[in-house]
Amino acid sequence: MSKLVALLCLAVSAFAQCQTSEPREVLIWKIWYGDGSVKAGHSFDDWVKMPSKDVQVLAVFYRDTYRIFHEPNWDVEHYRTLLHSTDYYWFDGKQFGAGGAPDTLKPSPDGAVKLGKWMTNRGWEELILKVQAEVNP
């Protein structure tokens, strides 16, 4: 990775994933469901075992870290990607994604695709506050 790309990676927000030519090593991923439950895993096998409907938010945490200033100290945080507000979420064992029907993996491994679901504005606001508290402690 060039020095310029490395510097740009340091500048990305906490919710952005810095793209490189190599897939990042996943530390853990978490799914928040509309009923308030939260499931986490590390592997494709874990992903397949999770409920496949009513996904609201998917957060993927990577092993790579960066330094960030939280007054009055510098902290170290893991890069992460936050996916939400869409109809489909997928993981093929290597990469995560989210989007509409045309964006899904084709063909996709059994259990790779999970479904999002609309929820009320009030329910979404309550859920996203929980997500933010957990993703940005």
Q: Which amino acid is at 31?
A: I
Instruction: Render pLDDT for 53-107 as a digit per residue (tens, 0 to 9).
Output: 999 999 999 989 889 888 899 998 888 999 999 999 999 888 899 998 888 767 7
Beta strand 96-99 with 88-91 is antiparallel
Q: Average pLDDT of the chain?
A: 82
C-alpha 59/C-alpha 50 separation (Å) is 14
Domains of the chain, by residue range, sit at 24-135
Whether 52 shows a pLDDT value over 70: the answer reads: yes
Q: Cβ of 75: how many Cβ atoms within 10 Å?
A: 11
Check pLDDT > 60 for residue 6.
no
Residue whose tokens read 């940005």: 136
Round to whole Å and give the CA distance between 133 and 20.
28
9: confidence class by pLDDT, cuts 50, 70, 90: very low
Given the structure tokens 């259990």, which residue do they identify? 111
| pLDDT in the model for residue 16 | 40
DSSP states of 65-123: EEEEEETTEEEEEEEEEEEESSSEEEE-SS-EEEE-GGGS-SS--TT-EEEB----HHH
Q: 108's torsion region: left (phi>0), alpha (psi -120 to 50) or beta?
A: beta
Q: Are 106 and 95 in contact (CB under 8 A)?
A: no
22 pLDDT more than 80? no
pLDDT tier at 12 (50, 70, 90 boundaries)? very low
